Structure 1
Amino acid sequence: MSTIEVGDATLYYERHGQGPAVLCISGVTGDAGLWTGMADALADEFTMVSYDRRGNSRSPRPENWISTSVDEQADDAANLLRGLDLAPAVVFGASGGGIILTNLLLRHPEVVRAAIIHEPPFVSVSPDADAVGRQLGAVFEEGMAKAALPGAMEALLHWAWGRDGLEAVEPQTRERLLSNAEVFLGMELEAFIEYMPTSEELADVKVPRIVTAGAENRDPAAEYHHGYEESQWLANQMHTELFELPGRHVPYLTHTTALTETLRPLLRTLSG
């Protein structure tokens, strides 16, 4: 079990392979294990790193830690890369991890060689933001009624990931993910929802970046279509094109082989 001290936190991390460094940042659940399949597939050519975000899974909750911010989460990622002597690295941030990566680009650009930002939930920019908010509230209410906080977390993952996404996770890992419900719902969710960089900040990013979305979410009838819209918004703000990845919100779980084939040439280019 590998851990590293970053400020007031101890982070569990996983490192696979050798070659140019690629850091993967998870969103909801904050768990390194979501990336294992993709990391194993790419470890023949890249140093693949993922980590449990502070207070999640195998990263213990820091003493007196009762709130968080996107700034704090980005600081952890930057300090992890510096502590492992892997900066600058290509960084892949998915969902809430994409929001953390956006902040990392603004506040610690020197640790990022290039960025891949996948469906960051800047929900307020979606034309259907109010409807999405109501739907999310109903999801939480139904999950809470079934099994309290873990039930709300499971319901959220079914909604965002699809049933195939959650079923792709091994039972032991799934139990670990659901155990992070208190941290996510009580501390992280509000911080992620409230974070919104300015158009000027986003337009000023100089680090090479790619914004991605799940190809299956392009359909306006798709349940998570708002994720595609949010990615399109961010791509426009950053003056870059939107790049489609196979599947929907969690292709690293549901379309591992196809995603690896798509990412490998991109990572070669971005790694320089």
Structure 2
Amino acid sequence: MTTTPLSATSRLYWEIKGTGPAVLLIAGTPGDGGQFDRVAAELAAHRTVLTYDRRGTSRSPSTPDWQTTSVAEQADDAAAVLAASGAGPALVYGTSNGAAVALELALRGPDQVRGAILHEPPLLSVLADPAPVGAMIGSVIEEGMTSGGPAAALEGFLRFAFGDDVVGSWSPPLRERMLGNAAMVFGVELPAFQAYRPDEAALRAARVPIHVVVGAEQAAPFFGEAAAWLAERLGTDVRTWPDAHGPQFTSPAELAAAITALDPA
């Protein structure tokens, strides 16, 4: 467990375990690296595994003047973790909004990355008609805000993303950290990520292998649409992996095996 300074008053919390080729795991909303504890334990038998709390999340507190972010800023933070660890170049696995960070890291810092796996990136900006998806997510958040404020809204959003069983299974410390990010999620993170659209020329010119995956049990079709858009521009196919949006919680051993299979180094 260590921290990496981003400025005089801002630091990133990260953890490293295991030995072997490096794998960096990037969490979706909210970006608490504790989401990967079980996957990291599986991978650490044969890999050096890096996890971290994204800027302004959980154990990586933000500065008082930090009011906006971007996927590029988040990718630079991931690069800072890799540089501080000295473990790279790494295979990078990102899930949900963390997949957008993994993608930008692979495009912006290919010397630090030997490959990227993008799991269900929710790229609303590339959908043919994003309005219904935005309205559905908005209604979930609004209902939570009305019933219990930001923390209840974030819990409702996470239950929508992962399912009731997953959210109900979290340990008290993880649950407290996750829901404690509500103000940051709605005020800073979601606006930035919902506006993100990858540069198509950069996708076609990607210098490292980038894999796009969707869960076999994912019922929301917009994940498949976004994945297909990405895969076409990357010149690859969409892979089908275990479960739906939260395999790090529901099938960590299978997820670790799938990651390792794409990185036999």
TM-score, normalised with respect to structure 2: 0.95
For residue 262 of structure 1, report the CA deviation from its aligned partner.
2.5
Q: 1:260 aligns with which of 252, 256, 259?
A: 256
Identity across matched positions, percent:
41
In the TM superposition, residue 263 of structure 1 has moved relative to its aligned partner by 2.5
CA contact (8 A) 2:107 2:207 kept: no
Structure 2 counterpart SS, 1:44? coil
Q: How does 1:40-59 map to 2 (within 5 A)?
A: 40-59=41-60
Match of 1:3 in 2: 3
Query: Does 2:82 align with 1:85?
Result: no
1:122–1:254 distance in 2 versus 1, CA, 3 Å: same
**Partner-residue secondary structure (3-state), 2:39:** helix
Is residue 16–residue 43 contact of structure 1 (8 Å, CA) maintained in 2? yes
Partner residue in 1 for 2:168: 167
2:22, 2:91 within 8 Å by CA — same for their partners in 1? yes
Letter of the 1:181 counterpart: A
Separation of aligned partners in 2, 1:106 and 1:10: 24
- State the shift of 1:35 in Å: 0.3
The residue identity in structure 1 corresponding to 2:252 is: T
SS of the equivalent of 2:100 reads helix
Give the corresponding residue for 1:156: 157
**Are residue 24 (structure 1) and residue 25 (structure 2) matched?**
yes
8 A Cα contact 1:164 1:254, kept in partner: no
| Match in the other structure for 1:244 | 240
Unaligned runs of 5+ in 2: none
Q: C-alpha separation between the residues in 1 aligned to 2:143 and 2:64?
A: 32
Structure 1 contact 31–52 (Cα < 8 Å) conserved: yes
TM-score normalised to the size of structure 1? 0.92
Instruction: Say if 1:143 and 1:152, in contact at 8 Å, map to a contact too.
Output: yes
Q: Name the SS of the counterpart of 2:51 in structure 1.
A: strand
Q: 8 Å contact 1:95–1:249 — kept in the other structure?
A: yes
SS of residue paired to 2:104:
helix
Tell me the residue number matched to 1:118: 119
The 2-side partners of 1:6 and 1:263 are apart by 29
Counterpart in 2 of 1:235?
231
TM-superposed CA distance for 1:228, in Å, is 2.2
Q: Give the drift of 1:145.
A: 1.1
Aligned to 1:13: 14
Q: Distance in 2 between matches of 1:263 and 1:233?
A: 22
Cα offset, 1:197, TM superposition: 1.9
The alignment's C-alpha RMSD in Å is 1.4
Deviation at 1:63, TM superposition (A): 4.3
Moved over 6 A (4+): none
Q: Secondary structure at the match of 2:263?
A: helix
The one-letter code sitting in structure 2 at the alignment partner of 1:179 is G
Count of paired positions: 264
Aligned to 2:222: 226
> 1:33-56: CA deviations, max 9, x gaps?
000000001111001111001111
Deviation of the 1:165 alpha carbon: 2.5
Residues 35 and 252, structure 1, Cα contact 8 Å, conserved in 2: yes
Structure 1, unmatched stretches of 5+, are none
Shift of 1:75: 0.6
Give the match's secondary structure for 1:233: helix
